[in-house]
Amino acid sequence: MYRLLACVMILLTSSLGQRLLDPPAVFSQSKQRLLADLQRLPRYTCVQTVTRKYYPPPFHWASSGSCKAIITEREKRNHELTMRSWDRLRLDVTVADGHEIFSWAGAPRFEEGKLAEVAGNGPLGSGDFGPFISAIFKVGTIRLEGERFVEGRHLLEYSFEVPEKVSKYQIDTNKKEKFITGYSGRVFLDRDDPDLVRLTVRTGDLPQQTGRCQAVSEVEYGRVPIHGNRVLIPRETRLWVVGREGEEFLNVTSYADCHEYSSKSVLRFDNVDATESSSSTTPSPPVQSPIPAGVHFDWRVVTPIDSDTAAAGDPVEAVLRSPIRDKKGTIVAPAGTRIHGRLLQLGENSTRSYFEITLKFESIDINGTPMPFYAKLVGDEMWSTGPYRLPFIGNSLEGGAWFYFRSRHLKIDHLDSRGTTILPPAKEEKTKDGPTLAK
C-alpha cells in the first residue's frame, strides 16, 4: 500500500513539475531541441504533395485597390471564394547548405534551382521544412504573447520578426527578378512537452514588380519516427498568396515517406572537373543511343491516371505501338518496347470544365538497358465518342505535349498518340555552382 502510494506521489510530482515549467524554460528547451533537429535535417528527405488552388478576384473588387485595402478586405471576408482552377505537384524535398532543394518525386538527384523549374506558372513556396525555424530562432526577435489551450494542449504563443537586413526570404518573379523581404509571425510551443507545434509566417509588403501583395504560410508540425529518431516534420502547410488585383492562390502541402539517406548519398557540384573528384576511377563516357532523330512512332501510356490521386511529377510507363528503326532500316526498338516518362502537369480548369495533363518521355529500354529518349510528342483526338473527346491544342515545353479532356474528373487506363524522335537538347552553360544531391 505504502509502495503504491509512493509511486502515485512520484508520478504526480513529476507531472506537476513538468506542468510548472515556466515560459523561459519551455522556450530554452524547445530551441535546443529544434536546433539539434536542424543539424540532422540534411540526412532526411520527404515526398511533398502540393495542391494549388487559384481564385479570381471577388466580383465586386476594384482592380485599382491598394495592397493595404486588398488585405484589409480579405481579413474581413467571411465567405469562401469560388475556385477557378487547381493543379497538383509531387516533389522530393531535402535541405542542403541551409536551404531546401527539390526534384521531381523519384528523380535520381536533387538540383538547386529545381523549384522554379517545376513550379510552372503557379506559385510554389519553401522554407517550412527547416530554414524558417533556423532563421527565427537564430536571428529573429521573439516575444512571449501569452498562453492558449488548443485541442487539449497548453500552447505558449510567441511573436517574432525577421527584418529584411538579415532575412533570406526570397521572392522570385516570372521575369527572373529576385527580391528579399522581411517577415513576421507567430510560433506556438507545447508548454508540457517543449516542442514546436505551429508556425505562421507573414511577409512584409512585397515589391510591385512581384505582382503580389503578401504571402502567408501556416505550418502544422509533428514528429515522425525515422531510424530510431523522432524527427520534426511539417504535417501540413497552407501557403496563401494575395495578388495585386485581389486574386488569391492557396497551396496545401502534405509530407509523406520521410526517410534517411544511405551512406552512399553524396552532395556534389555538377561543374566540378573529374580530375578534382575524390574518386580515382575515370568516369565512363555516356552511352550513345542507337535511335536517330526524325523517326515517327506510335505509343501508348499504360499507367492509369486518376485525378483523385495523380500529380505532376509522377512517373508513367508507355509502350511502343510501332517499331523504331535506325538509318539502315534495322529495328532497334520493336513494338512493345517500354518507355519511361513523367507527368509534368496535372490540373483542372473548374470554370471551363476541362482537365489538362502534360506528358514527357525520358528513357527507353534498348536490349534491356534504359537509354535517354528524346522525342517531340503529338497530341491527338484520343476518343471519337464519349466525354473525353477534345482535340489537342499545342505542344508544351521540354518536348512534352498537352492533352485536354472535357471532364471534371479524369480517370483513364491508357492514352494513345504518336511522336517523333529528336536530337538531345543542347546543355546550357552554368553561370553559378549549383549543389546536386545524388539519391
Residues in the chain, overall count: 439
Nearest to 301 by CA among 278, 321, 283: 321
For the cut 60, the answer to whether the pLDDT of residue 421 exceeds it is yes
Contact 250, 239 (CB under 8 A): yes
Specify the amino acid at residue 281.
T
Give dist(CA 311, CA 303) in Å, integer.
13
Residues 349-358 pLDDT 10s: 877 678 888 8
For the cut 80, the answer to whether the pLDDT of residue 42 exceeds it is no
Give dist(CA 237, CA 132) in Å, integer.
13
What mean pLDDT comes out for the span 252-260? Answer: 90
Task: Pick the more confident residue, 161 or 176.
Answer: 161
**Top-ranked range on mean pLDDT: pick from 126-135, 322-331, 393-402:** 322-331
Give dist(CA 184, CA 234) in Å, integer.
19
Secondary structure letter of residue 121 according to DSSP: T
Are 21-261 and 296-421 the same fold in CATH? no
What mean pLDDT comes out for the span 395-405? Answer: 68
For the cut 70, the answer to whether the pLDDT of residue 54 exceeds it is yes
Torsion angles phi and psi, residue 275, rounded to 5: -70, -20
Contact 199, 219 (CB under 8 A): yes
Residues 203-245 pLDDT 10s: 988 998 888 999 999 999 999 888 888 888 899 999 999 999 8
Please give the CATH topology (third level) of the domain spanning 296-421. Answer: Lipocalin (2.40.128)
Domain coordinates of the chain in residue numbers?
A: 21-261, 296-421
The bridge status of strand 85-96 relative to strand 44-55 is antiparallel
Helix (H, G, I), strand (E, B) or coil at 11: helix
What mean pLDDT comes out for the span 424-433? Answer: 56
For the cut 90, the answer to whether the pLDDT of residue 131 exceeds it is no
Residues 263-273 pLDDT 10s: 444 433 343 34
Q: Does domain 21-261 have CATH number 1.25.40?
A: no
Strand residue runs (E) in 151-211: 153-162, 170-172, 178-180, 183-190, 196-203
C-alpha cell at 118: 517545376
Torsion angles phi and psi, residue 305, rounded to 5: -125, 120
Contact 205, 215 (CB under 8 A): no
The pLDDT assigned to 395 comes to: 47
Confirm whether pTM is higher than 0.75.
yes
Q: Which residue has the cell 544511405?
A: 262
Q: Which residue has the cell 518496347?
A: 337
